[in-house]
Amino acid sequence: MPLNASASGNLQEVKFHLHKITFIPYVNSTKQNTNDILFDVITFLNREQLNGKAYAINRNKNKPELEKRELFVYSAARVAQSKKFKCSIALINDKSLMVKPADAFTLVPYDKAKGSITILTHFYIDYSVSPAIICAQFNNEGPRVSDIEFYFRSLAVELGLAKGCQITTYLHAPIDDTLGHLRNVLNFEIKLRPQSIAQMDDDIKSGLISDFANIGNRLKPSFIRIEAMFQTPGAKIKSEHLNKEANSFIKMLLKKFKEKPFHIDQFDEFELKFVNDEGENDVFNLIKGKREIVVQVDRTTHMTTTKYYNLIQAEFDQFIESFRS
């Protein structure tokens, strides 16, 4: 869990990011409203749970070079007297794990006969507005929002309810604004994991991103970071000094983030410094620029979906109200 210890000792910070979810219906489908499709998907999940079942899917099923990434929605309960769902999605960890006994400083293999270790990510859906809005915990080790998108898309397609699903992250500085005002790239900094590159579309992996992949395959680093500086911020811009290659590369990435937002989830850092169309220095941060709700929790407390909901509810409701006309 991506938590930062606070000065209060046992308190830790948990972030929830805000997104919208849209389903793409089939042309001749009787269900054309994206929220109706969402409701049917969650209704199916609840029926499965009542029957002691779950819909599980391996996101990397068709990527044998990647480790298994099996997901299932653990809970999807409706909040009483509201148009909200409290949900959690689990990632099954089938790696060989070691366990420390409570009474000794030794390690013993985890007995898989007892079950599988799972990592939960909690998320909340408000469908009182259309498209519905998701408030999802950022969990570095567990399921991410791109996993939620993949899960809902796969299930909606299997049920014959929709041909696609897209989750778009709300940003303080929308991608459209940056694309519209970007005149010249000054520098950018990118950090990502080699295994994240395999999750990207082939067209985004061309050029520099494919070079990242080659480095990852050869050297096996945990992370790859690149900082490229083209011009000192504040220097006078002349048209003949425009960084055409850098501008083209950055615009390609931004357009891809807009068209297929799940790519955003594959980057651990993405900061762009540029000159806007008014000749002023500007900054776009893909990760830190996300709209978010931050809560403090006691690290010694087992946090449930309901406990997290009680912490984020007021700010989540306030965010939802901003969409009502």
Based on the domain organization, do 179 and 162 belong to the same domain? no
Based on the domain organization, do 23 and 155 belong to the same domain? yes
Based on the domain organization, do 22 and 138 belong to the same domain? yes
CB-based contact 200:146 (threshold 8 Å): no
pLDDT, position 38? 97
Beta strands in the chain (DSSP E): 4-5, 11-24, 56-58, 70-78, 84-93, 98-99, 108-109, 117-126, 132-137, 164-169, 182-192, 224-229, 267-276, 281-285, 292-298
Between CA 129 and CA 125 the distance in angstroms is 10
Q: State the maximum Cα–Cα separation within the chain, in Å, rounded to a whole number.
A: 70
pLDDT, position 325? 57
pLDDT (tens digit, 9 = 90+) per residue, 191-216? 988 888 878 877 777 667 778 888 88
pLDDT (tens digit, 9 = 90+) per residue, 160-179? 999 999 999 999 888 999 99
pLDDT above 70 for 66: yes
Based on the domain organization, do 248 and 115 belong to the same domain? no
pLDDT above 60 for 2: no
Task: Give the tokens for residue 208.
Answer: 């520099």
User: How sure is the predictor about 127, in pLDDT bands with cuts at 50, 70 and 90?
Assistant: very high
| Overall domain count for the chain | 2
Higher pLDDT: 239 or 137? It is 137
Between CA 171 and CA 189 the distance in angstroms is 18
pLDDT, position 234? 55
Based on the domain organization, do 22 and 147 belong to the same domain? yes
User: How sure is the predictor about 23, in pLDDT bands with cuts at 50, 70 and 90?
Assistant: very high
Backbone angles phi, psi at 167, to 5 degrees: -110, 125
Between CA 267 and CA 197 the distance in angstroms is 9
Please list the helix, strand and coil fractions of the chain in percent, rounded to the nearest 5, in that order.
Answer: 30, 30, 35
User: How sure is the predictor about 5, in pLDDT bands with cuts at 50, 70 and 90?
Assistant: very low
Based on the domain organization, do 46 and 189 belong to the same domain? no
% of the chain at pLDDT higher than 70: 93
Based on the domain organization, do 79 and 209 belong to the same domain? no
User: How sure is the predictor about 279, in pLDDT bands with cuts at 50, 70 and 90?
Assistant: confident
Based on the domain organization, do 9 and 156 belong to the same domain? yes
CB-based contact 17:169 (threshold 8 Å): yes
- 300 CB-near residues (< 8 Å, 6+ apart): 10
Based on the domain organization, do 91 and 204 belong to the same domain? no
Based on the domain organization, do 15 and 82 belong to the same domain? yes
pLDDT, position 1? 47
Q: Which domain holds residue 309?
A: 4-170+290-321
Based on the domain organization, do 300 and 280 belong to the same domain? no
User: How sure is the predictor about 235, in pLDDT bands with cuts at 50, 70 and 90?
Assistant: low
Backbone angles phi, psi at 219, to 5 degrees: -100, -15
Higher pLDDT: 260 or 273? It is 273
Based on the domain organization, do 64 and 180 belong to the same domain? no
